[in-house]
Amino acid sequence: MLPFFWMLSTALKEPIEVYSLPIRWIPKNPQWGNFYKAMTIMPFGRYFLNSIIITSLCILGTLISCSLAAFSFAKLRFRGKDLLFLLVLSTMMLPAHVTMIPKYVLFKYLKWLDTFKPLIVPSFFGVGAFNIFLLRQFFLGIPEELADAARIDGCSSFKIYWNLTLPLAKPTLIAVTIFDFMGTWNDFMSPLIYINSEKRWTVSLALAAFRGGEGAEGIFNLMMAATIIVILPCIIVFFFFQRYFIQGVVVTGLKG
């Protein structure tokens, strides 16, 4: 926990104080204005907007495509179900870096480089196997009787999915949302590869560039301030939803 306090303490210091010894934990003259300065040295407003757009669209895509797939695996009967699910599981073990280069080539060919598309589109196609797994486990727990009754009345699978299963799955859907939010908001490598223009930077790229190259020693207090602001959304989300978070980690740990 210490590092967090140190971060906050540094963020509030005057420039000279940052480098003074012996150290002080409480700054003599807290510079709350550092936060504002950090955010305006570079146009963080735009970076936040970029991150928000990408993250929310990703979450949307994931929720839709993964819940559809999970519903299929959990509730519907069809040939090849087990084999396909095995494929889903196997993708969970794949290191992302193996597919990184061909995906880059693909997006280059599609002329999607330096746009948000490579970061968003895959999520609409169920790329998060872990989410499919999580949702499927939950769907399996929903009793069949309700669905059977609906089916006898002639309901299509989609209606069952939409009106019956999804509302019941709220907790798990929230867990998926949170995991996806964290993953996308904090993602560094993908934006690094696909985005070039400064105006399209995500918050993670901006923070990395904040250091201004090797050893930009003079602005550590502002850097800490910027860091705090960048991680704030994650911390807030975490505090509000920790129950779902930890539950998700546990489910994979015990059943996996």
Query: Vertex 139, ends 89 and 59: CA angle to 5°?
Result: 70
96 binds another protein (CB under 8 A): yes
Report in angstroms how near the CB of residue 20 gets to another protein at its nearest.
8
216 binds another protein (CB under 8 A): no
Residue 113 contacts residue 45 (beta carbons within 8 Å): no
185 binds another protein (CB under 8 A): yes
Tokens standing for residue 194: 């696909």
Residue 39 contacts residue 232 (beta carbons within 8 Å): no
64 binds another protein (CB under 8 A): yes
Residue 176 contacts residue 135 (beta carbons within 8 Å): yes
Using CB under 8 A, pick the residue from 57, 59, 66, 176 that binds another protein.
66
Could you give the string, one character per residue 231-250, with x where binding to another protein holds by CB under 8 A and - elsewhere?
x--xx--xx--x--xx--xx
CB atoms within 10 A of CB 77: 6
Using CB under 8 A, pick the residue from 26, 32, 93, 111 that binds another protein.
93
Which one of 36-44, 135-143, 164-172, 228-236 is the stretch in contact with another protein (CB under 8 A)? Answer: 228-236
2 binds another protein (CB under 8 A): yes
Report in angstroms how near the CB of residue 66 gets to another protein at its nearest.
8
Residues 24-63 that bind another protein (CB under 8 A): none
Using CB under 8 A, pick the residue from 82, 98, 153, 199 that binds another protein.
98
Report in angstroms how near the CB of residue 246 gets to another protein at its nearest.
6
Secondary structure (3-state) at 94? coil
Which conformational region is residue 14 in: left (phi greater than 0), alpha (psi within -120 to 50 degrees), or beta? Answer: beta
Which conformational region is residue 111 in: left (phi greater than 0), alpha (psi within -120 to 50 degrees), or beta? Answer: left
Report in angstroms how near the CB of residue 44 gets to another protein at its nearest.
13
Residue 148 neighbours by CB under 8 Å, 6+ apart:
none
Percentages helix, strand, coil for the chain (3-state, rounded to 5) are 75, 0, 25
Report in angstroms how near the CB of residue 3 gets to another protein at its nearest.
6
Using CB under 8 A, pick the residue from 40, 140, 156, 198 that binds another protein.
156
Report in angstroms how near the CB of residue 43 gets to another protein at its nearest.
17
104 binds another protein (CB under 8 A): yes
Residue 37 burial (C-beta neighbours within 10 Å; 0-12, 13-18, 19+) = middle
Which one of 30-38, 138-146, 164-172, 202-210 is the stretch in contact with another protein (CB under 8 A)? Answer: 202-210
